[in-house]
Structure 1
Amino acid sequence: MKCIPFLMAAVLAGCVSKPLPPDWQANAKGALDASVDDYLKGHTAASNAEFREARAETAATGRADHVAQVELVRCAAQAASLVFEDCPGYAALSPDATPAQRAYAAYLAGQWDGLDAALLPEQHRAIVAGGALEKIADPLSRLVAAGALFKAGRIAPAGVALAVDTASNQGWRRPLLTWLGVQAQRAEAAGDTAALNAIERRRKLLTTP
């Protein structure tokens, strides 16, 4: 039977062969994406509200691994901003998390000894193996990797500078402030007053209404 090129006619004629995904998936993804974006921009209240919505949508499945994934996305955004709080939301779900989720949580926490990098997303596998941070095309993934490197004590000055540039180019105020703080500490330790003053001027721009 030939499908009629109108949506309602197609539905009535049985021409839709692939079922639509359940509402919770789209709702959770939309809320989680918005939460991460607001978090990186420094809009804490909005981010928290959107995160609660994403978690509630996912929790409706009764699947701990689904909820753990939402928590890990939040942990990754925090790692990109150098906020390491042991991800208590994920920790409570970790007994029911997948092996890949456990590996990713360890990666974010800088716990790389004995880490099975094969369980990580490809771009992060390369980082554990000593790959270059600048080869990660996605800005958020690059910042997450920089945060993991920092936590593991393996980030070079060039990596810090790349994290600063990445956050700056995206207009992500929260990680930009924290990465500039790392640069400031290193400039102060090196006695580089000119660099320190330049960094402080940038930080002032970010914090002045």
Structure 2
Amino acid sequence: MTIAAASTKGFARWSALCLGLTLAACASGPPTPEWQMNAHAASQKAQDAYLAGDTRVEQQEWDRAREALARTGRLDLLARLELLRCAGRVASLVFEPCAGFEALRQDAPAAEKAYADYLAGQLALQDMALLPTAQRNAAQAAQTDAVAPLSGIEDPLSRLVAAGVLLKTGRAIPATVSMAVETASAQGWRRPLLAWLGVQAQRALAVGDTEAAASLQRRIAIVERGGKPD
């Protein structure tokens, strides 16, 4: 259940980006409505642009996705889109209110409200069962173990979201941060990589490991310069 994609690969990737939250029914048979294809393409481009650090393109594509979904009059779909946007921010350690979702909260299904609370680090235990599978497993494991929550999450963005929530709630240990850095690096996601490298550098300084901190700062500089010589 998600916005229909043009191919199996696209469908799988969109499902991952949605973090288990449905945006529209998908079924074989009738042609896919134009709004579904437009919303799918725009939201995917928007998330990619955000993770790459391209704010201008990101904003344009989120606007296109919202416009496509608004054609349906479905407030629940718009609420889910806002959650997708906010999830990318949590993955990049931008901990700010999910204002777009909150404006639609009263019309959002219970599962979406629970996910918004999860992103904010305020999930009630009784609502844990409403989360997407990956985040539910991470939230459950985090009650007793700060390492296990990430080990079973295959999707990179879902893994970074879970890591972001762990950091926000004070449960992130060095292994959490290291896994987040490795995940962002492997995907070439500039924005979350810089954020997590920054956390790693700060923690190295906090324990007096100046050599590691200096190495991390050099790595940060390379990412910030886009590989250009100093």
TM-score, normalized by the shorter chain, greater than 0.5? yes
Deviation at 1:79, TM superposition (A): 0.5
CA contact (8 A) 2:39 2:64 kept: yes
State the distance in 2 between where 1:107 and 1:149 align: 10
Indicate whether 1:98 and 2:115 are aligned. no
Unaligned segments of structure 2, at least 5 residues: 1-27, 142-147
RMSD value, Cα:
1.2
Indicate whether 1:41 and 2:52 are aligned. yes
In the alignment of these two chains, the number of paired residues is: 193
Match in the other structure for 2:179: 162
Deviation at 1:115, TM superposition (A): 4.8
Match in the other structure for 1:61: 72
State the distance in 1 between where 2:94 and 2:114 align: 19
Match in the other structure for 2:11: none
Q: What per-residue deviation string (whole Å, max 9, x for no partner) do you get for residues 107-128 of structure 1? A: 1111134351111111111111
Unaligned segments of structure 1, at least 5 residues: 1-16
State the distance in 2 between where 1:115 and 1:140 align: 25
TM-score, normalising length from structure 1?
0.89
1:116 aligns to what SS in structure 2? helix
Instruction: Look up the equivalent residue of 1:202 and give its one-letter code.
Output: R
Deviation at 1:171, TM superposition (A): 0.5
State the distance in 1 between where 2:149 and 2:104 align: 32
CA contact (8 A) 1:38 1:44 kept: yes
State the distance in 1 between where 2:91 and 2:203 align: 19
Match in the other structure for 1:52: 63
CA contact (8 A) 2:50 2:58 kept: yes
After superposition, residues 90-129 of structure 1 pair within 5 angstroms as 90-129=101-140
Q: What per-residue deviation string (whole Å, max 9, x for no partner) do you get for residues 126-181 of structure 1? A: 11111430211111111111111111211111010000000001100000000011
Deviation at 1:84, TM superposition (A): 1.4
Structure 1 stretches of 4+ with a deviation exceeding 4 A read none
Deviation at 1:207, TM superposition (A): 1.2
TM-score, normalising length from structure 2?
0.81
State the distance in 2 between where 1:133 and 1:30 align: 28
CA contact (8 A) 2:38 2:65 kept: yes
Match in the other structure for 2:8: none
1:21 aligns to what SS in structure 2? coil
Q: What per-residue deviation string (whole Å, max 9, x for no partner) do you get for residues 168-202 of structure 1? A: 01100000000011111111110100110010000
Seq. identity, %: 53
Match in the other structure for 1:199: 216
